Amino acid sequence: MNKINLIDSFSEFKEFKNIDRPTMMSILEDIFRAMIIKKFGSDDNIDIIINIDKGDLEVWRNRVVVEDEFAEDSFEYDPNKHISLSEAHKIDSDFELEEEITEPVNMSEFGRRAVLALRQNLASRISELEKDGILKKYQDRVGEIITGEVYQVWKREILILDDEGNELVLPKTEQIPSDFYKKGDTVKAVVSRVEMKNNAPLIILSRTSPSFLERLFEMEVPEVFDGLITIKKIVREPGERSKVAVESYDDRIDPVGACVGMKGSRIHGIVRELNNENIDVINYTTNLQLYITRALSPAKITSIKIDEDSKRAEVFLKPDQVSLAIGKGGNNIKLAGKLTGYEIDVYRDSDIDHEDVDLDEFSDEIESWVIDELKSIGCDTAKSVLELSEEELLKRTDLEEETIKDVKNILKAEFE
């Protein structure tokens, strides 16, 4: 037997394990050379020819022709590297001393056990290579969204298969409380972390991570994907409420409007994926008072006192706005605190004297250019505007009468 057919041994691995040709060739040669070294003591004079497509292997041994006396008496004689002249003539009578003979090695010489061991080694190496490949692949995909199919549902976790049949795990702790899956369902989640457990790669998925929501925005909002809108921070109470602070460096783009979409078309897809989780998208700003005001949306704030040293903010609201500010189960105020980095205390406005309010806090109701126009005449608070008559404001600003009336009505409502 001059060659051995190894289709069952390695051709199938190439097809099903998706291993590239150079890697497969390298593995096969390493394994066969190890077997040859064990048999002959050295592989320096051995040539291995592998045809992966046909599943063929040829092993050729190169030996130098030596005198019969050398073969019989010399301690330097190595039957693996030398062949006596008389033995060489049995192959071909034209061979001469010092000439190199190349002849095939009959694989049956290695024995059945050696070939079985070779196949086992090959399977082991392929398995290790596959594990390393999965590990590296998913280490590079941490933070990306993966879509897979539920293969097994357990009490504490779900086993998911990706499109290549790799096993992924979605723990119960990383599922939205209202998630319910059965075998065959399609699951969308983000790769949370990758680690080795019992010498096998463990890929952990998450649907509760803020990065999952961020990736969903990138999928649904082209401006976010293209970098025209930046997501500054995301905080979540999975399944209940999320707050997303967004910013655009292009004044022509309304970041909140772009994320929500026409009639909520963009945000609805994300909300459905998160099982109707409420999502508040707010404009990010470095103005701390305004940022806290926006973070407590949908509640409307009367005034705020901020202590930057203790990172605390006292927020005053009308009685009917307090429950909105706190939210169901305290989620709204908790998320606002996480978003802004401040501990927020809520007080009823009826318990305190009315105080003046900065005009910037009305930016959600009054256009920014109108606020800038009022500031240009020294009116930077609500009361400073209300103290001036409509005629005075018409005379001192470029605002129209209708605009001034609207602004005054908005500001008066805050003090009624």
Comparison of pLDDT for 112 and 210, the residue scoring more: 210
Neighbouring residues of 373: CB distance < 8 A, sequence distance ≥ 6: 397, 398, 399
> What's the pLDDT at 295?
94
CA dihedral defined by 18, 19, 21, 23, rounded to 10 degrees?
180
Query: What is the DSSP-derived secondary structure letter of residue 264?
Result: G
- Residue range 296-325, pLDDT digits in tens: 988 888 889 999 899 999 998 887 788 888
- Which of 246-250, 261-265, 267-271, 320-324 has the weakest average pLDDT? 320-324
In terms of Cβ atoms closer than 10 Å to its own Cβ (0-12, 13-18, 19+), residue 307 is exposed
pLDDT level of residue 13 (50, 70, 90 thresholds): low
What's the one-letter identity of residue 264?
Answer: G
pTM (whole model) above 0.85: no
Answer yes or no: is pLDDT of 333 > 80.
yes
Highest mean pLDDT among 8-22, 40-54, 125-139, 227-241: 227-241
The separation between CA 200 and the C-alpha centre of its own chain, rounded to angstroms, equals 20
Q: Which of 184-193, 228-237, 322-331 has the lowest mean pLDDT?
A: 322-331
Averaged pLDDT of the chain: 83
As a residue count, the chain comes to: 416
CB atoms within 10 A of CB 351: 8
Which tens digit of pLDDT belongs to each residue from 66-121? 887 776 667 677 777 788 888 878 777 777 888 888 777 776 666 677 767 777 77
Q: What average pLDDT does range 8-13 have in this prediction?
A: 51
Q: Tell me the mean pLDDT in the region 271-277.
A: 93
Q: CA 109 → CA 1, 183, 258, 276, distances in Å?
A: 9, 51, 73, 69
Q: Which of 103-107, 150-154, 252-256 has the lowest mean pLDDT?
A: 103-107
Tokens of 233: 């921070």
Residue 45, C-beta contacts closer than 8 angstroms, at least 6 positions apart:
61, 62, 63, 80, 81
Confidence of residue 330 (pLDDT cuts 50, 70, 90): confident
**Beta-bridge partner residues of 233:** 245
Q: For residue 65, give every residue at least 6 positions away whose Cβ sits within 8 Å of its Cβ, in sequence order, or none.
A: 82, 83, 84, 85, 88, 95, 96, 97, 98, 99, 100, 101
The domain 3-136 having CATH identifier 3.30.450: the answer here is no
Q: Where do the structural domains in the chain lie, given as residue ranges?
A: 3-136, 148-206, 212-284, 359-415
User: Under a CB-based contact definition with an 8 Å cutoff, are residues 234 and 220 in contact?
Assistant: no
Give me the architecture of the 212-284 domain, per CATH: 2-Layer Sandwich (3.30)
Q: Tell me yes or no: is domain 148-206 CATH 2.40.50.140.
A: yes
pLDDT at 98: 80
194-203 per-position pLDDT tens digit: 988 887 889 9
| Euclidean distance between CA atoms 20 and 326, whole angstroms | 58
How many whole angstroms separate alpha carbon 277 and alpha carbon 271?
6
State pLDDT tens for residues 338-390. 999 999 988 877 544 456 788 888 888 889 899 888 887 767 788 888 888 88
At residue 5, the 3 state secondary structure works out as: strand
Residue 217: predicted pLDDT? 96
Alpha-carbon separation of residue 66 from 35, 46, 92 (angstroms) = 27, 18, 15
